[in-house]
Amino acid sequence: MKRFGIAVVAAVVFLVFLIGSVNAGCIGVETGTDFGCGDTVWESCTFNENLICPTGHGLVIGANGIIIDGNGYTLDGVSPGACDGSGTQRTGIYNKAHDDVVIKNLEIKNFCNGIYFKYDSEEGDRVDRVERVVIENCNIHHNGGDSGGDNSVHGIKAIGMFDSTIKNCRIHHNTGKGMGCDDGGNGIFLKGISGFGAWNNTITHNEIYENRKGGFFTKMMCVDTEVSYNRVWGNGQGGIILRCKMSATHDIHHNNVSCNYGDGIFVGGPDNTIRDNVVNNNIAGFKISPEDKVGDGDGIDMGRSDGSYNNELYYNTVCGNEGTDIDTYGSGSGTTGDNNTCDTTENYDDEGATGCTYTCGPGVIADFSAEPTKGTSPLEVTFIDRSKPEGDITGWLWDFGDGNTSNEQNPVHAYYTTEPYSYYNVSLTVTGSGEASDTVTKTDYIKVWREDAAPNADFICSKGVGDPSVPVQFTDKSLGEVTSWLYEFGDGGTNSTQNPEHCYYAEGVYTVSLTVEGAGGSSKETKFNCTRVGSGTGEKWPLIDAHFFASARRGTAPFTVSFTDMSRSEAEIDSWRWDFGDGNTSSEVNPTHTYSSAGIYNVSLEVTNIVGAKSREMKIGYIVVSPLFTDYFDTGAPANPYPSIFGTHKGKIIPDRDITVNKMYTYPCMGTGGHTEYVRIWNESEGIEGVGHWSGYQGDYHNITISPAITLLKNHEYNYIIRTGSYPQIIHAREKAVEGGIITCTEFKDANGRGYNNWIPAIRLWWG
């Protein structure tokens, strides 16, 4: 029998750690095939855990129609290595000319390219393009490097892509080297095929930031791209860059492009529309190298005399840029438009005005405080305006987060809640002379609870101490009406004071729990690896302390809960791992989760900061879900809710049983705030009418209350109007038999004014 030495065993263990378990990877939805590092994926698959790939590609697309669902997991290249700029660089997901591919819900990091889509050359002048691909809800970061060729590596690299969409992604901290048009480090790099271009793509609702070169960069005949509702900041060679002189007929709207090095928006081609964007505080600089000044820091620059013709600018706010706010190459550019706000222009006048229609004016900075910020409902809060400069502010608009507003400078506002706990975001917008304005929002600033609500346990762990004889301090941060505290320190010791000290007499890492009780019940919180004691237990990382809150803790299935991360850390938190207790997890910062079955669920959150310190909190018996009601009307979630957009639905509901209704639940698309803003259900001949209005993004906002409660009778017809917001799930049919009866669509008009007769909202009518 062969004997293996300790070193060999350790090497095997380390290799397993790097590569992952045997069954780790993307699991085929039809055959159960386990697709791992470097594999060619020939059927749709879903990740079942993180996939670690120290060498080669992550996954290679091998067929049309593939869906890669990351399921909240990570595809990690460990280290990009020396990327070869002249070949097919090591890529997280590589796709050569396969169409109708979807990549979603996946983190991709530490490759040369995060995602690389490329056309395939055929004989003669024919090419096989990449068409109708979708990248959504992905986190693509820290790809590329500064060794090897590295001259054409990017977060997302797409060459010859048509009719495709990148949406709801975070694309950041991608790098490379070189300063030419093709060189590395753009967040998104879109390049046309010589003689063919790249057409009809959509880049929307993304966060694109801190990439080495441009945020979104195009080259070579990219045409008819929609770039909308993106936040683009901190990039090293401009925000949105349409470099080619043939970059034509783009629609660039409702983006915030601020604080980039170089130009905020650069337009090299003709006939583009730039509207409703905020382009502020872009600077000339040398984030890439001291020799490369990466532009003048213009706001919007139409700077190519050989291509920047006949562009239109409307309703843009372009202020505080180091270069010129709006710049064109010359008076013959044919640039037109009006109602822009800026201070400086070069060779550009709004129609009917010199320079811009409006000026930026003197700057104002919004700020405020409040007292108290937490308490029992009704809670009266006094808000104090602390904006600067005091003498230049002429108007105030407060949004208290509960649907109420005020124009007073120092208002007093009372908060009421029927939920166990409610958290409110508060915003203040101040205006000054010259149309100057500023807005500040404080998230979860006001915390209000019912007097009979069970308390919400929370405490602060100490960093730990080097000397076991030194006591460790614990600080209570619980919310609600608390009458007793019980700490369990992990060494057998306990304490019933609110803010105790405790001496640990042995070195180690300790898990600590706090149970609080009040008139409304009890709550227990456990923090794993809460504190370290003694010098022999390893480096004492900067303090990180996991904590979270649920919008509601009790309800009837399907029960939707919004979870809010409230963790504290001395270093930036860059990873979240939620376990909802029902087999589902999430890596979002503030996820929303729907419990479909009755039960009592423990919920935990593990957070990790940028230096590797971890903290995990578990709340015991935190979510209580009652059984389903038998009388309800439920369309369920469709297998494919896309395309999805908000708008107004009209149609009929025909129940197959008597159903009493006072609630309506709207199924949201994953990663969105899909909801209903208004519902009306009625039958005039029966005198039945129920109406519901949305109360905003707080509490269980996917459910809307219908008042008065109505009873829908078996086989009777009822009309409905449902106006949705964000991205609700859609059933693409004119009529659908569902649980509880039949629902039809007679008309749907989307937010862009387009009409359809086969878009049914995915909803649930119930009593709760």
Measure CA 220 to chain center: 31
363 within domain boundaries: no
247 within domain boundaries: yes
Question: Shortest CA distance to 185 belongs to which of 213, 157, 208, 217?
Answer: 213
Dihedral sign of CA atoms 336, 338, 341, 342 in order: positive
Q: Are 98 and 229 within one domain?
A: yes
Q: Are 242 and 273 within one domain?
A: yes
- Residue 638 · residue 686 · CB < 8 Å: no
Interior/surface letters 48-75, b for 16+ CB within 10 angstroms, e for the rest? eebbbbeeebbbbbeeeebbbbbbbbbb
Q: Please tell me the predicted confidence (pLDDT) of residue 84.
A: 63
Q: Tell me the per-residue pLDDT of 135-168, one tens digit each, with 9 for 90 and over.
A: 999 999 999 877 655 568 899 999 988 999 999 9
Q: Tell me the per-residue pLDDT of 396-450, one tens digit each, with 9 for 90 and over.
A: 999 998 889 999 999 999 999 877 778 888 999 998 766 678 888 887 789 898 8
CB-based contacts of 486, cutoff 8 Å, min separation 6: 494, 495, 496, 514, 515, 516
Alpha helices per DSSP H over 408-560: none
pTM > 0.75: yes or no = no
Question: Shortest CA distance to 416 belongs to which of 379, 373, 451, 446?
Answer: 379
216 within domain boundaries: yes
Residue that finishes a domain, picked among 478, 513, 540: 540
Residue that finishes a domain, picked among 500, 522, 540: 540
Which CATH number fits the domain that encloses residue 646? 2.60.120
Q: Tell me the per-residue pLDDT of 309-359, one tens digit each, with 9 for 90 and over.
A: 888 898 898 988 888 899 887 666 788 888 888 888 887 766 545 578 777
The rounded distance, in Å, linking the Cα atoms of 57 and 424 is 45
360 within domain boundaries: no
Rg of the chain in Å (alpha carbons): 28
Q: Are 657 and 696 within one domain?
A: yes
Helix (H), strand (E) at residue 12: helix 6-19
Angle at 659 between CA 706 and CA 646, to 5 degrees: 45
Domain range for 564 is 548-626
Q: Are 147 and 264 within one domain?
A: yes
CB-based contacts of 517, cutoff 8 Å, min separation 6: 455, 482, 483, 484
595, pLDDT greater than 70 = yes
Residue that finishes a domain, picked among 577, 604, 626: 626
Q: What is the DSSP string of 321-387?
A: -SS-SEEES-GGG--B----EES-EES---TTSSS-SB---S--B--EEEE--EEESSEEEEEEE--
Q: Tell me the per-residue pLDDT of 710-766, one tens digit each, with 9 for 90 and over.
A: 888 889 999 999 999 888 999 999 999 988 899 999 999 998 889 999 999 999 998
Q: Are 411 and 512 within one domain?
A: no
Using CB atoms within 10 Å of the CB of residue 304, give its burial: 0 to 12 exposed, 13 to 18 middle, 19+ buried.
buried
Q: What is the DSSP letter of 83?
A: B
Question: Shortest CA distance to 243 belongs to which of 219, 262, 216?
Answer: 219
Counting the structural domains of the chain, the total is 5
CB-based contacts of 749, cutoff 8 Å, min separation 6: 647, 648, 755, 756
Q: Are 290 and 190 within one domain?
A: yes
Any idea which residue has 């495709």 for tokens?
A: 164
Any idea which residue has 């405790």 for tokens?
A: 502
122 within domain boundaries: yes
Q: Please tell me the predicted confidence (pLDDT) of residue 683.
A: 92
The mean pLDDT of the chain is 83
Which CATH number fits the domain that encloses residue 344? 2.160.20.10
Q: Are 401 and 507 within one domain?
A: no
What six digits make up the tokens of 368?
Answer: 């405020």
486, pLDDT greater than 90 = yes
Percent of the chain with pLDDT over 70: 87
Q: Are 645 and 663 within one domain?
A: yes
Q: Are 599 and 698 within one domain?
A: no
19, pLDDT greater than 70 = no
Q: Tell me the per-residue pLDDT of 254-267, one tens digit each, with 9 for 90 and over.
A: 999 988 998 999 99
Q: Are 264 and 208 within one domain?
A: yes
Would you put residue 355 in left (φ > 0), alpha (ψ -120 to 50) or beta? left
Length of the chain in terms of residues written? 768
18 within domain boundaries: no
- Residue 705 · residue 599 · CB < 8 Å: no
Q: Are 266 and 336 within one domain?
A: yes
Q: Please tell me the predicted confidence (pLDDT) of residue 62.
A: 94
615, pLDDT greater than 70 = yes
Given pLDDT bands bounded at 50, 70 and 90, which one contains residue 14?
Answer: very low
Q: Are 533 and 394 within one domain?
A: no
Which CATH number fits the domain that encloses residue 523? 2.60.40.10
